[in-house]
Amino acid sequence: MRIEAELKLDFQDVLIRPKRSTLGSRAEVELSREFSFRHSGAAYRGVPIIAANMDTVGTFEMAGALARHRLASALHKHYGDSQLIDFFGGLADDATVFYSMGITREDYEKFRRVKEEAGDAIGFVCVDVANGYTKAFVDFLQTLRAAYPRVTIMAGNVVTGEMAEELILDGADIVKVGIGPGSVCTTRKMTGVGYPQLSAIIECADAAHGLGGLICADGGCTSAGDLAKAFGGGADFIMLGGMLAGHDECMGEVVERNGERKMRFYGMSSRAAMDKHAGGVAHYRASEGKEVLLDCRGPVDATVQEILGGVRSACTYVGARKLKELSKRTTFVRVARQLNDVFGQS
């Protein structure tokens, strides 16, 4: 047993210090980024925000809505072969949509079948597991990269620099960062395992960028200000679940409570998800997610505009004309947790 005493920070532990700016308006801020991926060699241009591959968020409808704003989506894993083939067959050339998969033989064979039919329309893949530290995960990543050298691969989740480096060297173009910070994730409570998300982003970004790789901050963002902090900490992409949940484009079940319409939203390791997709919680594991009811929020467009407006505003406060400049112009100021608790700040 050992204890690391170095300070680790979460989004609520810091604020961004304002700096002198020559920007006259939020409208002057450019939020699009351009990337060239280390392994696939593919080029990307768009707003680097991705809808999470949760079955209530990562839907065909969400992908279509976000593409209008140049945002990306990661589809959930539970669509059938024919549905995926039809979707990718009609995908616009400028849309960024990730095919999501696990690491079982069945996952690989399903991807092989769909990719064979859809061809180059599938250019982005998200290899998604809760624990990215296992040998099985690394072996699968190496196999996938060898078989599909021109596909851009996002893989995770991890929270430490050394593992981010390993995944990049093993074939990941983008490393997905985050264990336990999601609003409907209970991994930290059930296992005691995790890492404060802002420090995970900072450390993994530093490691990944040194090798020409990128990172995607996955989980923990509950406001536009959290996205600004994640980008300021070095995140190249940000994946959102709860902030995009509850909208018309989601697939959560709608119920009525006290005369109000609510939508079910749950983590993909929750009992609700495992009952739906795996026939229940296996005897050897525990649920590591929860289910909540959210207000039905209508079309996602208004929420997207609010998120993008908040990030643009953050850029104006520090004088960043482009999103890519935000991390260079960010200085974090630590805030006292006890004051947050007393005054209810976040």
Neighbouring residues of 77: CB distance < 8 A, sequence distance ≥ 6: 53, 55, 100, 101, 102, 107, 128
Neighbouring residues of 128: CB distance < 8 A, sequence distance ≥ 6: 53, 74, 77, 100, 101, 102, 155, 156, 157, 176
Residue 185 is among the residues annotated as catalytic for this protein: yes
First vs last C-alpha separation in the chain: 33
The one catalytic residue among 126, 185, 216, 221: 185
Q: How many residues in the chain? A: 346
Name the token pair of 312. Answer: 């643009």
Closest listed residue to residue 126, CA positions, set 109, 111, 143, 147 = 111
Residue that is written with structure tokens 């308006």 in the block: 25
291-295 and 260-266 beta bridge pairing: antiparallel
Residue 124 and residue 133 in contact, taking contact as beta carbons nearer than 8 Å: no
For the purposes of burial, counting CB atoms within 10 Å of the CB of 267, is it exposed (0-12), middle (13-18) or buried (19 or more)?
Answer: buried
CA distance 20 to 2: 43
- Tally Cβ neighbours within 10 Å of residue 27: 8
CA distance 46 to 295: 29
CA distance 288 to 340: 27
- Please list the active-site residues: 185
